[in-house]
Amino acid sequence: MKVDVKELKPKKAIIQIEDIKPYFVNALRRIMISELPKLAVNEVVIYDNTSALFDEIISHRLGLVPIPTDLSLLLFKNECVCKGKGCPNCTVRYTLSKEGEGSVYSGDLLPAEKSWAIKEDKIPIVELYGDQRLILEVEAVLGRGRDHAKWQAIQAPAYRMEPIIEFDKTKLDDVKEFITKLPENLVSIKGNKLVLKDVTKLPIIESYISKENIDYITIERDPTKFLFHFETDGSFTAKDAILESVNILQKKYEELGKLLKNLK
């Protein structure tokens, strides 16, 4: 297996993985969607809300705010020593108090400890007019994407197989002429293959082939080479998210292995 990091930003990553089967990449993708734990607001205690939005809508909006998550410091509420009562080991508390004209943003949620401060601080929650006010307290706990979308840290993880674009060698002149019609620097000729400079631009060449009704160029997908890309909602960095997902996948395989060893 070969891994090449094509792009790594705080919230986005593109990784090329070679010599691998599609089901393995898909397992990683599904772990990212449904198994990677993250913090999200689960309970809201509203003391006063004279805004235009109902309490339930505000609590729903607060639930979707991404909260920076450090999995080494937190436990699931049902696995905690407090037995689900809520303690600093499993629950992160925030308060929000705002009155008067202006918007309430996610950054107005003040944590009990500064290390839990919300980084995505410009997410609008509600707009207040006149002397309207909003006073509340929230509890954020760890959860998984399979239980609710608010606990899904990774947005749109996806993979595409690398394309193999081949052409009939006897039609080399036609292929050269066809390339002149394409946008500049899109493809280059290598033997009887066309090599894309950027794999994400494949739909462009596909549309040209379809438009020109060309039958001497064929596009196939290589099921051993993948371009895996994903974005996080801000609760993890892209690097932490993929490393943590791989850990979870590894633990699941180990658990399965242990259970199978006990088979008689």
Partner 1 sequence: MTGYKCGLCKKSVKFDVKNIGMQCPYCGSKIFYKERPTIAKRIKSK
Q: Where on the chain is the footprint of partner 1 (CB under 8 A)? A: 40-50, 55-56, 59-60, 62-63, 138, 148, 150
Contacts 24+ apart (CB under 8 A), 22-25: 22/159, 22/161, 22/223, 22/226, 25/159, 25/226, 25/228
d(CA 12, CA 9): 5
Q: Phi and psi of 213, rounded to 5°?
A: 55, 50
Shortest Cβ distance from residue 152 to partner 1 (Å)?
Answer: 14
Measured CA to CA, the distance from residue 146 to residue 34 in angstroms comes to: 5
Q: How far is the CB of 112 from partner 1 (least distance, A)?
A: 17
DSSP 148-189: -GGG--EEEEEEEEEEEEEE-GGGHHHHHHHHHHSPTTSEEE
Rounded least distance, CB 67 to partner 1, Å? 12
Question: What minimum distance in Å lies between the beta carbon of 63 and partner 1?
Answer: 3
Q: Closer CB to partner 1, residue 40 or residue 187?
A: 40
Considering the complex, state which of residue 29 and residue 150 has its C-beta at the smaller distance from partner 1. Answer: 150
Do residues 232 and 27 make contact, with C-beta atoms less than 8 angstroms apart?
no
CB closer to partner 1, 38 vs 150: 150
> From CA 137, how far away is CA 95, in angstroms rounded?
4
Output the smallest distance, CB 99 to partner 1, in A: 14
CB of 66 to partner 1, least distance (A): 13
Question: Which is nearer to partner 1, 15 or 62 (by Cβ)?
Answer: 62
Residue 150 or 225: the one with the smaller Cβ distance to partner 1 is 150
Q: What crossing angle do the helices spanning 202-212 and 172-181 adopt, rounded to 10°?
A: 110
Closer CB to partner 1, 49 or 69, in the complex: 49
